[in-house]
Chain A
Amino acid sequence: MASGSSLSLLRVAPVVHVLGLVILIFSFTMLAPLLTALVAHDDAQHAFDESFAITLAAGVALWLIGRRWQRELKVRDGFLLVILVWTGLPAVATLPFIIYTPEMSFTDAYFEAISGLTTTGATVMSGLDDLPPSLNLWRHLLQWLGGMGIIVLAVAILPLLGVGGRQLLKAELPGPIKDSKLTPRIADTAKLLWAMYAGLTALCAVALKLAGMSWFDAICHAFATLSLGGFSTHDASIGHFNSPLIEAVLIVFMLLAALNFVTHFLAFRQKRLAAYRHDPEVRGVLGLVLASCLGISVYVWQAGVYPEYLTALRHVSFNLVSLATDCGFASTDYNGWPMFSTMWMLFLSCVAASSGSTGGGLKMIRSMILMRQGVRELEHQLHPAARLPVKVGGHAVPNQIVFAIQAFVMMYIATVVTMTLVLLASGLDFVSAFSAVIACINNAGPGLNEVGPGTNYAGLNDFQTWVLAFTMLLGRLELFTVFVLFTRAFWRG
């Protein structure tokens, strides 16, 4: 056993060294809310003072501890690092919450932080309107940082410090097509994408301000929109503003954020929209969402929820786009809509977001490949000798990837079933349990019933909260990254 544990130490220690560096850098992001607290004179200043100091110290400590085992990271270390970062950062991110509200449990604070960093947007906090601005900013900042993956950011910076980061991207970037590199160097690619992300966020903030929000709200909501997180500074979420204009702006930016950022970048660089036409996912995402909006709005209107069709269209469009893109804003309590429409929205949240976007779930590309794989099997019955490649955007997808996707979807379904059963066992009703698992694994946000848009996750007990926090992590890291840690082979050399 002794040799086993020393092997594990050899594996973990160099990763801890890098983790220390990431936490160290992360601590500096706390300066933004600190500054806000100073400017706004809210009473949360001390929370950020202390949090910053503790986080900085923790980062430095880990960095020093790991230094003895410093070495170039390998692919396997990438998995471990990604998971440590995604569990470690939420842990330190809880500090401002706990210090400001001592009565808040660590469980709830951790749930809030990981919900932010995984861009889920499920919240256990209420009374958001009365929260100090700095604390609200912190929640949204977490989402924004989580948005394109703190790792992508780290990948842009860590190579400067002499740490090879290529393997991180492999483990981190969502979706099966990972070879759409824009520049030969991974760090440059990350920087370009990050700039694109920041640019769109700024654009969104200005648009929201022009649509009638205050600057603070506009910036916070822009953070939550581009990251498809879905936190709001108000308990009533977007319903608080009751403005069709704001909803329209948000719909546009949510859809933009649900498309691949590489595609955005290509379109930006070429100054032409052709990039969107060549991206096989764009048509799928927009087509599916548009058709669903029209269909469901008619359905909801016919069911008599709203007397006017236009009202139905407005509310369905916003909430459907919000859930389908895994953002999770709500403009009304759609829990009362007919079950079919809300279930359809949850289904969309599983499939609608693009790879390379900040959305979650299976991703459109996987759904498309799987559909075609199904059609291929049918065609194979009719033409046994035929050579039928699965094609996306005119390119054949290697069978190896099709198999990997099948395994992924299998694992995804198994996870949903398992987690739902666990929640049922803990005493939650079926609709709440199922919708909460779907909303968390897709990093969408609100579910139905007890965790629906009209309420939040505060009603759950500690056990259920931890289960869902873990589900968010699974969804964000695309299952395999986490599961690989539970294999014996990973820990044997």
Chain B
Amino acid sequence: MKIIILGAGQVGANLAASLVAENNDITVVDLDIARLALLQDRFDLRTVRGHAAHPSTLKKAGADDADMLVAVTQSDETNLVACRLAATLFNIPARIARIRSNDFLESEGEFLAEHFGVDHVISPEQEVTETLRRLIEHPEALQVLEFAEGRLRLVAVRAYHGGPLVGHELQDLRRHMPDIDARVAAIYRRDRGIVPKGITVIEPGDEVFFLARKQDIPVVMRELRRMERPVKRVMIAGGGNIGKRLAARLERDYEVKLIDHNKTTCAYLAEQLHRTLVLQGDATDEELLEQENIEAIDVFCALTNDDEDNIMSALLAKRMGAQRVIALINRSAYVNLVQGGEIDIAISPAQATVSPLLSKIRRGDMAAVHSLRRGAAEVLEIVVHGDFKTSKVVGRRIGDVALPEGAAIAAVIRGEEVLIAHHDTLIEAEDHLIVFALNKRIIPKVEKLFQVGFGFF
């Protein structure tokens, strides 16, 4: 695919990196020559210097025969104008814009599509906020993904000594909880993926991915580890875009404290947020944390713009007694460094942005694609079309589908219904299948399997 990426900032660069890795022709546009040079050195892509919303720049970037335009500059207005131009002047079929302002986001849907030619809106801040919210809802989880409007969830959790199922075979899960339908989709043991079978034994320290209905999640989780106390008190360090959104999202249901060092920002936040306690100070200030009862905090989120600050304040908060700490970390090197240590979860905003875009560049009808384990694995929500003859999956039982090694169908969403996959579940046309791919190498094979044969057209 020929893809133009506007903006070589954090989001743009990360996007370029993942898309190049998937064999696409990438052109990156930015005003800053230094950033472009850096990208060009590291990846196999083309760069164009110029204003992202000028027609001449777009032409230079090859807009005439591009398949997709992804506008991810810092400015909403630039992104919107670029999409408009791409639609009117260049007829680029797919146009994606990054939008930060809530004003535009709230009027999403028809308005942006009709008047600005935006097919798909991505909002990194919103994605990260949602990710954080899900993690706070399930404090034991490492990652939570939602399907079917949140009714079906995929949860990653680390198994610990003392969980009833730990040290037992997976098939015992059914015996422990006969009424609950859940499916373990993958297990990672010392960073190696295992396709779970009935006789697989869960060991302490395993990272277990399982799918279940929303209401069953806590029960399943209890099988794998001791439960922590339900989250009531949340502390957020950093009152930027993400911190503010998260506080606004959480303040109704939780007791939220937000720390920022900037006086003006604090004044603004205190005015905008109604129940959050806004504290002015340094999140790495021991005395402030002490004063604000850090040992009673259930989740501490370090969300400033500075990776090092986030790591340090999260470490400090953990040391001082915060139950669980989450740090926002942009550099992937740092993510690998800290996760699983004292910091419970490291979140990469760039990763959160790339995921929703992946579904647009894949072959086959992908309703959603989610990266797992920092891009090493993926969960795909695939819509199946065709009939018994044209498709390799429709009309067959899940056990009979010839999936490549390392892939597993974990659940089926049929209209309003959510079915946890069993080997005898029959697949129908227009079903949404939740497919787990243990590593990225097998994804092309999966895509091919689900594509409709030529007979369909």
Contact = CB atoms under 8 A, between A and B. Distances in A.
Interface in B276-332: 277-281, 288, 291-292
B279 A385 contact: yes
Interface stretch (B76-84, B263-271, B432-440): B263-271
B389 interface: no
B274 interface: yes
A324 B251 CA distance: 37
A396 interface: yes
B267 A385 contact: no
A211 B271 CA distance: 48
B270 A385 contact: no
Contact of A385 (B269, B274, B291): B291
A384 interface: yes
A350 B448 CA distance: 79
B271 A384 contact: no
Contacts of B279: 383, 385-387
Interface string A246-282: 0000000000000000000000000000000000000
A396 B270 contact: yes
B274 A384 contact: no
Interface residues of B, number: 14
Contacts of A387: 266-267, 269-270, 278-280
B277 A389 contact: no
A229 B246 CA distance: 51
Contacts of B280: 385-387
B274 A391 contact: yes
B274 A394 contact: yes
Nearest to B274: A394
Contacts of B270: 387-389, 396
A383 B274 contact: no
Interface string B250-269: 00000000000000001101
The listed residue with most B CB atoms (<10 A of its CB), out of A383, A391, A395, A396, is: A383
A392 to B, nearest CB: 12
Contacts of B267: 387, 389, 396
B278 A386 contact: yes
B271 A385 contact: no
Contacts of A385: 279-281, 288, 291-292
Given A391-B274, A394-B274, A383 B292 contact: yes
A383 B274 CA distance: 16
A386 B277 contact: yes
B173 to A, nearest CB: 46
Nearest to B285: A385
Interface in A354-386: 383-386
A242 B80 CA distance: 70
A398 to B, nearest CB: 10
Contacts of B271: 389, 391, 395-396
A384 B277 CA distance: 11
B456 to A, nearest CB: 53
Nearest to B292: A383
Contacts of A391: 271, 274
A62 to B, nearest CB: 48
Contacts of B277: 383, 386, 388
The listed residue with most B CB atoms (<10 A of its CB), out of A384, A387, A388, A395, is: A387
A385 B270 CA distance: 12
A388 B274 CA distance: 10
A385 B274 CA distance: 17
A384 B278 contact: no
A405 to B, nearest CB: 18
B35 to A, nearest CB: 36
Contacts of A386: 277-280
Contacts of B278: 386-388
Contacts of B266: 387
B56 to A, nearest CB: 42
Nearest to A399: B267
A404 to B, nearest CB: 19
A107 to B, nearest CB: 52
The listed residue with most B CB atoms (<10 A of its CB), out of A388, A389, A396, is: A389
A72 B270 CA distance: 42
Contacts of B281: 385
Contacts of A383: 277, 279, 291-292
The listed residue with most B CB atoms (<10 A of its CB), out of A383, A386, A396, is: A386
A144 to B, nearest CB: 40
B291 A384 contact: yes
B36 to A, nearest CB: 41
Contacts of A389: 267, 270-271
A386 B288 CA distance: 10
A395 B267 CA distance: 12
A386 to B, nearest CB: 5
A387 B272 CA distance: 12
A389 B267 CA distance: 8
B262 to A, nearest CB: 10
A95 B342 CA distance: 87
A387 B280 CA distance: 6
Nearest to A384: B291
Contacts of B269: 387
A385 B278 CA distance: 8
A352 to B, nearest CB: 26
Contacts of A395: 271
Interface in A392-447: 394-396
Contacts of A388: 270, 277-278
Contacts of A384: 291
Query: What 8 A-B pairs are tightest by C-beta distance, nearest first?
Result: A396-B271, A387-B266, A387-B270, A387-B278, A385-B279, A385-B281, A389-B270, A387-B280
16 contacts: A383-B279, A383-B292, A385-B279, A385-B280, A385-B291, A386-B277, A386-B278, A386-B279, A387-B266, A387-B269, A388-B277, A388-B278, A391-B274, A394-B274, A396-B267, A396-B271
Given A383-B292, A387-B266, 13 more contacts: A383-B291, A384-B291, A385-B280, A385-B281, A385-B288, A385-B292, A386-B277, A386-B279, A388-B278, A389-B270, A394-B274, A396-B270, A396-B271
Interface of A: 383-389, 391, 394-396
